[in-house]
Every structure is written in C-alpha cells, then in structure tokens.
C-alpha cells in the first residue's frame, strides 16, 4: 500500500522542486557501523552474516519514513512497507537482481532470501523483470572484498529514479570491534543528511539487538 503526499502542503515542497530539477539529484555518504555483536549472534544462531545484516538494514529503512518515499510520474508516494532488490552473486562471479520481501522475522526473511539466492544460481543474466524493478524496494549490494571509504553508482540520468541505494563493504577489525562500511545514496528531494543519520542510528540499533 502507498499514500499520496500532498506536495502543495508538504514541508519539503521547495526542496523537492529544487533537487528534482538536477541531472543528478542523489547524494551519498559512507559511514561505519559496529557489527561485533551481530556477527557473534549470526554465528551462534547458525545464519549467514549477510542475511542478518541485510535484514537489519531493511528493518531500519522501514523505520525511516523519508526512505519510504518514491517519485512516480512526478508525484510523491509514501509506501507502507519497503522490500529489497539485492544484487546476488553466482559461482561464476556474475551477479543478478533479486526481490526479497520484508518480514519482521529473521527466519521468515531468510526463507525468501534463500529462494532468491537459489533462483540466481540457476539463472543467467541480470534477471531484469517487473518484480526486481519494483519501486517499493531498496537497491542493496554487498562488496565483501573491499573495506571501502567511498563509493559511486552507475546511473542512467535520463531514467527517473528515487530508490535509495545501500552498499556494504568488507568488515574490518579495530581492536575488539568489527566495523562494517555502509554507503547510502538517496534522492535529495526526498531526504537529507538528517534522514540518513536516522537510518544509520536505526541500523546500529537493529544490529545491536539482532
């Protein structure tokens, strides 16, 4: 379900108009989150670290209203719930797009994720489809080979896009802590640094509670 935002009375009306006129309306930043506790709990529960932090990230996205806004045919909508289109890799190192529905339960979410991982392994190409291209998702990718400090995305500026993009890199040890780099790019007409900060706070909270 989604709700239409009345842009005329919206407190972001000028922000939305201003940044929507840009060739590149997205901005992004990279920060680190502490996954020490989450990594230990993933091992203890016998689930993949990827499954756990992806679920935590998606839960955090759903907690921040600004990250549930989407622009469709020039209008702004707020979705009640956001899912994830993650890039998943194959044994031959190629990747494909996926669609994994959000579930409050980590185990239920894991069932959907496992099904998509298997579907990717059994396929070729990008798996472009109306399902993987749904607007009520975040675009998520993991780059577990590099502990990056910055990141850019390939973008077709002529194609209208308002979907947040979240990427994580290789976790690194700092003393007893296991720190995970997180890049988040959002449409500036819909969200500001404040909202990115809310997401990172919620993500850390979910990781600590996982």
| Catalytic sites, residue numbers | 188
Four-CA torsion 158, 163, 164, 169, nearest 10 degrees: -80
**Residues 39 and 183 sit within 8 Å (Cβ to Cβ):** no
Separation CA 55–CA 203 (nearest Å): 10
> Which of 164, 98, 84, 162 lies closest to 129, judged by CA?
98
As to burial, measured by CB atoms within 10 angstroms (0-12 exposed, 13-18 middle, 19+ buried), residue 209 is: exposed
The pairing of strands 177-187 and 26-34 is: antiparallel
**Residues 72 and 20 sit within 8 Å (Cβ to Cβ):** no
The pairing of strands 165-168 and 137-142 is: parallel
Separation CA 54–CA 52 (nearest Å): 6
């Amino acid at each position: 379900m989604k709700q239409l935002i009345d842009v005329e009375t919206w407190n972001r009306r000028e922000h939305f108009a201003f940044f929507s006129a840009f060739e590149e309306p997205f901005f992004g930043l990279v920060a680190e989150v502490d996954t020490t506790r989450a990594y230990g709990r993933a091992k203890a529960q016998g689930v993949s670290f990827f499954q756990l932090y992806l679920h935590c990230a998606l839960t955090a996205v759903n907690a921040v209203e600004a990250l549930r806004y989407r622009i469709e045919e020039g209008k702004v909508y707020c979705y009640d719930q956001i899912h994830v289109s993650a890039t998943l890799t194959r044994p031959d190192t190629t990747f494909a797009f996926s669609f994994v529905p959000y579930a409050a339960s980590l185990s239920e979410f894991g069932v959907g994720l496992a099904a998509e991982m298997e579907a990717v392994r059994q396929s070729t190409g990008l798996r472009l489809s109306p399902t993987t291209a749904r607007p009520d998702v975040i675009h998520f990718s993991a780059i577990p080979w590099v502990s990056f400090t910055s990141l850019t995305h390939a973008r077709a500026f002529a194609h209208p896009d308002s979907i947040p993009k979240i990427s994580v890199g290789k976790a690194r040890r700092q003393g007893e802590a296991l720190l995970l780099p997180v890049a988040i790019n959002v449409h500036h007409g819909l969200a500001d640094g404040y909202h990115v900060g809310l997401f990172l706070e919620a993500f850390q909270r979910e990781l600590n509670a996982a």
